[in-house]
Amino acid sequence: MAAAGARLRYPMERLSAIGLVEIFGKLPRHVGLYRELRGAFRRREYDLYLPIDYPGFHVRVARAARQAGTKVLYFIPPQLWAWRPQRARALRAAVDRLAVILPFEPAFFAAAGLAADYVGHPLLDRPPGPARAAARAALGLPVEGSVLAVFPGSRRQEVRSHWATFMAAAARLRAEGHCHAVVVATTPAGAYPDADGVRLADDPRLVLAAADTCLAKSGTTTLEAAIADVPMVVAYRASPLTYAVARRVMTVHWVSLVNLIAGREVVPELLQDRLTVDGLADALRPLLHTESAERRAQLGGLATVRSLLGTPGAANRVAAVAAELLGA
């Protein structure tokens, strides 16, 4: 956005947190920013508010914007279909239009009385990754042999929660001969101790391009792997309190975007207590072999998911909806 000419008044990096416990330390900054934005809307400094994701904060700001007469177009709105569908009334009071990125969302929001435009998924606008041979050469990996990609998370607390279990499972698969190399997608926020025998890389597209199979925490990475046609196992571990609350309010059977879009279990999900070294190794083992029935079945499911995602051009479609709201 900055490269496109946007003026960044409130950098969001200092506000980021995951889970009920972790968010408490960031509340004062959120409250201060909310008050600043509410004042800006009342002064009519903006014609359109276009929040992206981050619903715990953005819905409140959107309500303040709309009350002040500012148009609101919510891009990637709250996943009410997964958590609390009864909150649709509150969302109706906060927005004029929704721009959604999952193919089943327009019908859900329409049933709740919300106008939602399906714009396709932004991941489809990314250029394709390099060829496998080029990716492996760039990462110093063998051209032949099975490569496991590991995505432990993008935030420090995610990496800390997953790292030891993910690495122990990868080490077992290597020792058994099912996997010849392991490459880990890293982020500046993460810490990766005792990474002997694995390759660390900070380019996730390069990592996926080099991989035969992927072990990923739940999130957008699972959809990136599906688009790259890389079979995967999805895993996640949260704090016990966060997980307990989440299980009480969730209204969907799966957490991975791949399974949610397909409407069935395409990829294995190992969550919380099921996230063990044995469980990961058992789920990954058949996916590392080209001719296994499990791998062939998952590749078929991933093809179905890709077919449901639509076509590139999400940003242009959002811009068109914004222009319509502004009467441009």
Asked whether residue 48 falls in the same domain as residue 79, the answer is yes
Does residue 321 share a domain with residue 286? no
Give the model's pLDDT for residue 89: 83
How many alpha carbons fall within 13 Å on the CB side of residue 310?
19
Q: Pairing state of beta strands 181-185 and 199-201?
A: parallel
Q: Judge whether residue 137 has pLDDT over 60.
A: yes
Residues 172 and 245 in one domain: yes
> Mean pLDDT across the stretch 216-237?
95
Which range of residues forms the domain containing residue 281?
132-307
Same domain, 67 and 147: no
Residues 169 and 301 in one domain: yes
Percent of the chain with pLDDT strictly greater than 90? 74
Q: Is the pLDDT of residue 21 over 60?
A: no
Residues 5-15 pLDDT 10s: 999 888 776 66
Check residue 244 and give its pLDDT.
72
Do 321 and 283 lie in one domain? The reply is no
In this predicted structure, the answer to whether residue 128 has a pLDDT above a threshold of 90 is no
Residue 20 counted as domain residue? no
DSSP 3-state assignment of 270?
Answer: strand
Statement to judge: residues 317 and 302 lie in one domain: no
User: What is the predicted pLDDT for the residue at 242?
Assistant: 74
pLDDT (average), residues 91-101: 95
Same domain, 143 and 114: no
- pLDDT, residue 249, reads 66
Identify whether 207 is part of a domain.
Answer: yes
Cα(245)–Cα(70) distance, integer angstroms: 34
48 and 102 share a domain? yes
Position 18 confidence tier, pLDDT thresholds 50, 70, 90: low
Q: Looking at the domain assignment, is residue 3 inside a domain? A: no
| Same domain for 262 and 185 | yes
Residue 251 has a pLDDT of 64
pLDDT at 71 over 90: yes
In a domain, 127, yes or no: no
* 298 and 169 in a common domain: yes
The stretch 280-300 carries a mean pLDDT of 97
- For 207-219, what is the mean pLDDT? 96
Q: How confident is the model at residue 55 (pLDDT cuts 50, 70, 90)?
A: confident
Q: What is the pLDDT of residue 27?
A: 80
Confidence class of residue 90 from pLDDT cuts 50, 70 and 90? Answer: confident
Rounded Cα distance between 231 and 286, Å, is: 10
Residue type, 89: R
Give yes or no for residue 4 having a pLDDT over 60: yes
Total of domains in the chain: 2
Q: In this predicted structure, what is the pLDDT of residue 303?
A: 97
* Confidence band of 19 (pLDDT split at 50, 70, 90): low
Identify whether 4 is part of a domain. no
In angstroms, the CA 205 to CA 225 distance is 9
Considering the domain boundaries, does residue 9 fall inside one?
Answer: no
Give the per-residue pLDDT at 271.
93
Q: Is residue 248 part of a domain?
A: yes
Residues 92 and 141 in one domain: no
Phi-psi region of 41 (alpha: psi -120 to 50; beta: other; left: phi over 0): alpha
Q: Tell me, yes or no, whether 322 lies in a domain.
A: yes
**pLDDT tier, 62 (very low <50, low <70, confident <90, very high otherwise):** very high
Q: What is the CATH number of the domain that holds 203?
A: 3.40.50.2000
